[in-house]
Homo-oligomer: A and B are copies of this chain.
Amino acid sequence: MKRKITLKQIARELDVSISTVSKALRNSAEISDDTKQKIQAFAKLYNYRPNNIALSLKNRRTNTIGIIIPEIVHHFFSEVIRGAELVANKRGYNVIIGLSNESFSKEVINMEMLANGSIDGFILSMSKETLQQQDYHHFNETMSQGMPVVMFDRVVSEIKCDKVIVDDFNGAKNAVEKLIENKCKSIALISTPDYVSVGKLRTQGYLEALNENNILAESKLILKIDDTVDYEVHLDALEAEIEQLFKANKKIDGVFAVNELYALTAMKVARKLGLNVPNDVQVIGFTDGVLSKHATPSLTTVSQHAQQMGEKAAQLLIDKLESEVNPADEEFHTVVIATDLVERESTK
């Protein structure tokens, strides 16, 4: 087992100084062609590669970006990572990930761990717990230490940083407009509590669409699911809640749900109650994931372009890392990613 070779070893072997080796390998004009050739050949033979850690220490930059997300087993977040990794790699950066599991303390710990020199900047989406507690000190602290942060999807106006968000409002509005256009008269909304910013915005989009079309919003048509319960596990409970909604409002002929799972479950419940999708009830979901695509009937959905979000976030972050502007008078951008309505079989 040959350990990785270093400059020092090459220098000793070839009986020159370390600096000569370093310069030779970087093709400095200071070194004679003879020596350069000799050193380069030797380095190639032993497959020399500069040690990243030493470089990081010297250059005070790691060329690594940290991504903190609440959950990785989730189509949306893994797509964001894919996008971020894509542009990061293209620009010579690595990606290191931390999972908060929707927990405030894990988010803090993970950030501290990475902030101590391991990375140059953060891309992150806040955990639900953080959103609830509204405690943002760890973000502000890392930023005040000169480490740039780009937030995506779950953001909050109190924090001053670059942001990449989905146009939740218009995405929802367009979806509901589509239902109205398709002659739905009684459109239900299945959403999350308002502290989840995206849930709130999508709810507003729903209301606005109704409003602009002179349809009275009825609170009994709005179901807010308490998502502290993990409905991936307790599917039955979710189903029961939605069934309740349908039974109490027999004339529902359209459903807009703020995520795939709710939409899918709505379809399931409708079928169970003898309703045909899309003939009796039309359904539109949010987040164009694998479930929407492969459901039967396949689900019309608002596509968030998650990968594009990741790409944009990485781009913003790296741009900032490589810009020379005085951090004092920097400005923050908020990029809004437009949504698309992907029409499939669950609407007419």
| A interface with B by C-beta (< 8 Å) | 1-4, 47, 49-54, 56-57, 62, 64, 72-75, 78-79, 81-82, 85, 89, 94-99, 110, 112-118, 141, 144-146, 235, 261, 264, 268, 271, 290-291, 293-296, 327-328
Contact = CB atoms under 8 A, between A and B. Distances in A.
Contacts of A50: 116
A321 B114 CA distance: 21
A307 B112 CA distance: 25
> Can you tell how many copies of this chain the complex includes?
2
Nearest to A59: B53
Contacts of A328: 1
Nearest to A48: B116
Contacts of A3: 145-146
A64 B64 CA distance: 13
A85 B73 contact: no
A188 B74 CA distance: 32
B97 A1 contact: no
Contacts of A264: 294
Contacts of A261: 294
Contacts of A89: 99, 110
A112 B291 contact: no
Contact of A145 (B2, B56, B235): B2
A57 B58 CA distance: 11
B144 A2 contact: yes
Contacts of A268: 296
B145 A1 contact: yes
A115 B94 CA distance: 12
Nearest to A61: B53
A267 to B, nearest CB: 8
A204 B217 CA distance: 58
Contact of A117 (B51, B82, B96): B51
A117 B56 CA distance: 10
B96 A96 contact: yes
Contact of A96 (B53, B75, B95, B116): B95
